[in-house]
């Protein structure tokens, strides 16, 4: 599978590990946090909606809940919805799938479904 088939490789599963947070940079420069929980991958914007904190660099993952390392706000990585204060705004989520040991982003997730 390649980006020509409608998906964009984000990172290797080896780069993340079960129950951990990885990161990747999209072709448009946005940084996303990539989570591996129970063998399934999830992806959200990396930047906490409460501030400038990187969830991949400063956050903690407990099941499907990521806790921001700066003010301990929490989000559900499956939906991006805030679960605990001070976060009130949802994270953007991205549809991802695992193929051949790689986490892949569906190209329609990009603005306008456009080219990378």
Q: What separation in angstroms does the CA of 21 have from each of 4, 34, 68?
A: 27, 6, 12
CA distances in angstroms from 32 to 25, 89, 94, listed in the order given:
6, 16, 9
Q: Which of residues 57-86 bind ligand FES (CB under 6 A)?
A: 68, 70-71, 73, 86
Residue 20 CB, shortest distance to ligand FES, in Å, is: 19
> How far is it, in rounded angstroms, from Cα 48 to Cα 53?
6
Dist CA 77 CA 61 (whole Å): 9
Facing residues of 43 across strands?
A: 34, 94
Nearer to ligand FES, 42 or 50 (CB): 50
Work out the burial of residue 72: count CB atoms within 10 Å of its CB; fewer than 13 is exposed, 13-18 middle, 19 or more buried: middle
Q: Which residue number is nearest to ligand FES in terms of Cβ?
A: 51
Closest CB 82 distance from ligand FES, rounded Å: 9
Which residue, 2 or 88, has its beta carbon nearer to ligand FES?
A: 88
Structure tokens at 8: 């964009």
* Ranges within 81-110 binding ligand FES (CB under 6 A): 86-87
Q: For residues 22-51, which are near ligand FES according to CB under 6 A?
A: 48, 50-51
User: Least Å distance between CB 51 and ligand FES?
Assistant: 3
Sites of contact with ligand FES (CB under 6 A): 48, 50-51, 53, 68, 70-71, 73, 86-87
């Amino acid at each position: 599978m390649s980006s020509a088939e409608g998906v964009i490789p984000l990172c290797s599963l080896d780069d993340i590990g079960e129950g951990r947070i990885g990161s990747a940079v999209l072709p448009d420069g946005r940084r996303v946090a990539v989570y591996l929980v129970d063998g399934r991958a999830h992806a959200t914007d990396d930047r906490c909606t409460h501030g400038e904190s990187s969830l991949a660099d400063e956050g903690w993952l407990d099941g499907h809940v990521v806790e921001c390392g700066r003010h301990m706000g929490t989000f559900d990585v499956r939906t991006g919805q805030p679960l605990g204060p001070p976060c009130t705004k949802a994270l953007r989520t991205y549809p991802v799938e695992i193929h051949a040991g790689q986490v892949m982003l569906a190209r329609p997730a990009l603005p306008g479904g456009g080219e990378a």
